[in-house]
Chain A
Amino acid sequence: MKKFWALFFFFWPTVAMYCCLIAPSRGWWFPSPPMSRTGVQIDGLFYLILIIVTITFVGTQYAIGYVLWKGATKEQDSKAMFSHGSHKLEIIWTIVPSFILVFISLSQLDVLAEIRVISSFPEDAQKPAAKIAEVMARQFEWRIRYAKPGTDLTTEPSPGDLYFVNELHVPTGKPVVINLRTQDVQHAFFSPQLRVKQDAVPGLVIPVWFDVKEVGEYDLVCAELCGWGHYKMKARIVAQSQGGVDNYLKQLEAEQNEDGTKAESAAE
């Protein structure tokens, strides 16, 4: 029975590892490869940590299994080793992990700065023209405001602004910035495929930049509890060529100035 318990502690990390190994093939992994430049960097850091963590996980879990196995197979009546510890070991397992942890820490800084520090944004993202839309979160939807084509986005609404809901159109291949705000409580702008997440905080206007690599549709959901309809904030980011976005905005402008005298079908 003792051996059973030792094996039990070998068994479960093995099962856990197996689950992780088959996870990508079962769809229990990232919803898609990273579709933005920062997403690629984030995934790189994730896999770096994953490798370090996996080695540590396997090492320590099997170490537990091993010491239990040693205890289980010990001869009857043999005494426990009398030891209060080992300075040498303590020093080793203080210094080695601290180096690894500092290494992990330092490896994050550049990416963090590029994602969050406004002065470290890519140069293109710092231009006013990169600011393509305001995303106003509210219970329980995303209200999008674009500047009138040909003008720059203003922080507060201007006449001629274009409005839409739950669908954000962005051009691909270049950094874009959105002004993230909320009308009521806290929300979070989360696109799993783009690996973008930023809380929308009442009273703040937060610039968020990202670049989308490929044309396509990406999920946009809320990742900060915002009330009973938190799960309902289903939206999408539509990535198109610059021309596609321009056409879309033109069409949106036409719809928004609809006066009902033309054929009604144009409004839809």
Chain B
Amino acid sequence: MSRTPSLNLFVLAFLLSAAAMSGCSDSAFDSSFVYSPGTLDLMPEAQNGSKDVHGVKALLDERFGDPQHLEAWLKMPIDFGGTMTTVGEITTAESGIPVIKLGVEEGISLPEQAGSIQFVSGACAGETLVVSQWDPKTGEANLAAAPSQSVASGDICFIDRGTVIQSGRMLYMRHCSHCHGTSGDGNGPTARYLTPKPRDYRNGVFKFTSTNDMSKAARDDISRVVKYGIPGTYMPSFLLMKDEEHNAIIEYVRFLTLRGEFERKLVAELSSDYSKVALSSRLKDEKKADILKELNEFLAEDLKESANSLGDELAEIWATSDTEEALIVPSIARIPDSTESRRRGRELYLSKALNCADCHGIDGAGNGPQTIAYEKNPTTGQLYNEAGLHDVWDNQNQPRNLQLGMYRGGRRPIDLFRRIHAGIKGSRMPSFKNTPHEDIWNIVNYVLSIPFETEPGGTGIAPSAAAAAVTVPPAN
């Protein structure tokens, strides 16, 4: 058979393309963070700064980086991964490349594996060196290549810095980003079809928490949601993820959340004077050049400083939210489930003071009068187009239909207790923290009985066999 030259070319081209294809297989997820609408509403000079001063975007990127180059702002209560340690003795291998002994300080446990060392102090500060051989027992690290400057004993460095956040990002891009978006803005490609919308982390608000109403979400709260999903929504359960994967994702979610909150706070500093809207009204009696000068001064001095203090604020509230201090612990154990307790719960449910029925309806079907009233949008002051309640993300906020027996924040009594005590953050479910705990337990007992009522408000039904086990014997 005669092979024409064009055919040979064709075959060659195919082989090359196949080779090229298999070569590029491991590229990471190329993507970029988007800036929040608030940032984009600022005047361009405030967004971008100038040659000498950082604008909002640069301040944000400086501290959080972009997806390909995440920055670890150590102030943030995030486990970026890696072990901080100090350089000890330095010897030189036969090849002339130094061998560094690490982990000389007491109480530090060295990782089993080490791929790289990043220096944060000393002559090599900022430099990352690849480790060719690692002995976790002695802490001796052979380097693949000599550093550009000499390393000195006492230099502080990180082993495998950022591995947690990096792997968190890879996992997030695989499992989460198509709904929650690369930037955690709840606006991935799949998001637009989902009811309710995926969470936009950037407000720093998570709905279902174990913490009191003024606190943020604890790690455990995010962890529960990732592990068990949210019934009744498209948030599925990722129960079978390995623990280290699970933790890495949670750290990355915290990273995105803090990035978003930090961005909001920066914007809040600027938006009253330097947003596009403010600019146009100011231009009526001010000159643009003056405004720009003022802005530059503000960016160079005030904002730079407040960036740090804002970071401190954020770090503190997120860190304390993770402590026992923030956790809601009932002062008394659950009131045993009984007809009496349920009846009391129903009374409270209908009472003027608590007024649960206003939203959830008198029989708990989630159809109270508030669901057909028109609400005002707090930011624009306009009435919403559709009736019903709205959450802080401006999405319609349906009160839960308690008859379905589906509890998004968990079905344990303590979960329901906390929903009532702290409210559901970001939603229109308010906090009832001033209600006596005994009353809350009575409401919990009533709410848990609603799916099994034989008639609406039928508190007269006998507690089931299941509940009977914990019923206090009637005093007779």
Quote the shortest CB–CB distance from A246 to chain B (angstroms).
17
Residue of B334, B412, B470 touching A255 (CB-CB under 8 A): B412
Q: Are the C-beta atoms of B330 and A256 separated by less than 8 Å? A: no
Q: Are the C-beta atoms of B465 and A166 separated by less than 8 Å? A: no
The digit string for B436-452, where 1 denotes a CB below 8 A from any CB of A, is: 00000100000011011
A267–B411 CA distance with the chains assembled, in angstroms: 12
- For B464, what are the chain A residues with a Cβ–Cβ distance below 8 Å? 158-160
A160–B234 CA distance with the chains assembled, in angstroms: 26
- For B236, what are the chain A residues with a Cβ–Cβ distance below 8 Å? 139-141, 229, 232-233
Q: How large is the interface on B (under 10, 10 to 19, 20 to 34, 35 or more residues)?
A: 35 or more
The digit string for A91-108, where 1 denotes a CB below 8 A from any CB of B, is: 000000000000000000
Q: Specify which of A159, A167, A261 lies most central, judged by the most chain B CB atoms within 10 Å of its CB.
A: A159
- Interface residue count on the A side (C-beta < 8 Å): 31
Q: Work out how many contacts link A and B, with CB atoms closer than 8 A.
A: 84
Q: A82 contacts the other chain (Cβ, under 8 Å)?
A: no
Q: B329 contacts the other chain (Cβ, under 8 Å)?
A: yes
- For A258, what are the chain B residues with a Cβ–Cβ distance below 8 Å? 412-414
Q: A151 contacts the other chain (Cβ, under 8 Å)?
A: yes
Q: B328 contacts the other chain (Cβ, under 8 Å)?
A: yes
Q: A257 contacts the other chain (Cβ, under 8 Å)?
A: yes
Q: B405 contacts the other chain (Cβ, under 8 Å)?
A: yes
Residue of A151, A165, A256, A259 touching B228 (CB-CB under 8 A): A165
Residue of B330, B463, B470 touching A261 (CB-CB under 8 A): B330
Given A166-B240, A258-B412, is A158 in contact with B333 using a C-beta cutoff of 8 Å?
A: no
Q: Are the C-beta atoms of B412 and A166 separated by less than 8 Å? A: no
A1–B412 CA distance with the chains assembled, in angstroms: 76
Q: A234 contacts the other chain (Cβ, under 8 Å)?
A: yes
Residue of B175, B234, B466 touching A158 (CB-CB under 8 A): B466
* Interface residues of A, dominant DSSP: loop
Given A160-B465, A165-B229, is A260 in contact with B418 using a C-beta cutoff of 8 Å?
A: yes
- B239, closest chain A residue (CB): A166
Q: A264 contacts the other chain (Cβ, under 8 Å)?
A: yes
Q: Are the C-beta atoms of B234 and A229 separated by less than 8 Å? A: yes
A190–B412 CA distance with the chains assembled, in angstroms: 30
- For A1, what are the chain B residues with a Cβ–Cβ distance below 8 Å? 1
- For B1, what are the chain A residues with a Cβ–Cβ distance below 8 Å? 1
Quote the shortest CB–CB distance from B220 to chain A (angstroms).
8
A267–B224 CA distance with the chains assembled, in angstroms: 11
Q: A174 contacts the other chain (Cβ, under 8 Å)?
A: no
Other A-B pairs, 10, CB within 8 Å; known A143-B231, A159-B465:
A139-B234, A157-B405, A159-B466, A232-B175, A232-B236, A259-B330, A259-B414, A259-B417, A260-B414, A261-B332
B residues sitting closer than 8 Å to A (CB atoms) are 1, 175, 190, 228-229, 231, 234, 236-237, 239-240, 327-330, 332-334, 405, 411-414, 417-418, 441, 448-449, 451-452, 463-467, 470
A residues sitting closer than 8 Å to B (CB atoms) are 1, 139-141, 143, 148, 151, 157-160, 163, 165-167, 228-229, 232-236, 255-261, 264, 267
